[in-house]
């Protein structure tokens, strides 16, 4: 049984877009809840970071589809398939991690403060945390998807 190279490369494109989009959607759903609770423009940072995960999939899918030709070899097709799978699964894991972190922030009703100042309406001191710490956590969770993008870029060549 032989594998169709065009099918494998096309599946790599589809997996990249679908899995990255799934991870981005999960993270965005929790990020949006967080942003609605905070009424601050800086609360949109997690929404933007979650959306970047979907862009990673689109980048790889575009690069793969631009290399699909009639002269596509089976080994190149497997590379493209694994490139789509690697960026897709990495962004899915990243999105679930971001979503779980933001879900926890929403469940505990945490509020971030900037520059050590808190507004009186923000509640008790035990519910406050640093905006810098919050963004750093999201950056490290986003890095998982970025690592998948780097691997996929290497595989696509």
The predicted-structure confidence for 50-69, as pLDDT tens digits, reads as follows 999 999 999 999 999 999 99
Where residue 118 falls among pLDDT bands split at 50, 70, 90? low
Q: How many CB atoms lie within 10 A of CB 6?
A: 14
Tokens 């965005």 found at = 28
Where residue 127 falls among pLDDT bands split at 50, 70, 90? confident
> Strands 111-113 and 128-130: what pairing?
parallel
What does the alpha-carbon distance between residue 53 and residue 57 come to, in Å, rounded to a whole number? 7
The yes-or-no verdict on residue 123 having pLDDT over 60 is: no
pLDDT at 43: 86
What does the alpha-carbon distance between residue 121 and residue 119 come to, in Å, rounded to a whole number? 5
Q: Is 132 exposed, middle or buried (0-12, 13-18, 19+ CB in 10 A)?
A: exposed
What mean pLDDT do residues 135-148 have?
94
Higher-pLDDT residue of 112, 84? 84
The yes-or-no verdict on residue 12 having pLDDT over 60 is: yes
What does the alpha-carbon distance between residue 46 and residue 27 come to, in Å, rounded to a whole number? 8
């Amino acid at each position: 049984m032989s594998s169709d190279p065009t099918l494998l490369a096309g599946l790599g494109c589809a997996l990249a877009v679908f899995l990255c989009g799934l991870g981005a959607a999960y993270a965005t759903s929790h990020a949006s809840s967080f942003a609605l609770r905070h009424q601050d423009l800086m609360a949109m940072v997690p929404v933007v970071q979650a959306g970047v995960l979907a862009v990673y999939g689109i980048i790889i899918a575009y690069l793969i589809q631009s290399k699909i030709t009639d002269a596509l070899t089976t080994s190149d097709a497997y590379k493209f398939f694994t490139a789509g799978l690697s960026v897709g699964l990495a962004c899915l894991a990243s999105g679930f991690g971001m979503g779980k972190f933001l879900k926890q922030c929403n469940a505990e009703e945490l509020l971030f403060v900037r520059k050590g100042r808190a507004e009186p309406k923000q509640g008790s001191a035990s519910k406050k945390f640093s905006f810098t710490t919050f963004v750093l956590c999201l950056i490290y969770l986003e890095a998982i998807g970025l690592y998948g993008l780097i691997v996929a870029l290497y595989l696509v060549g």
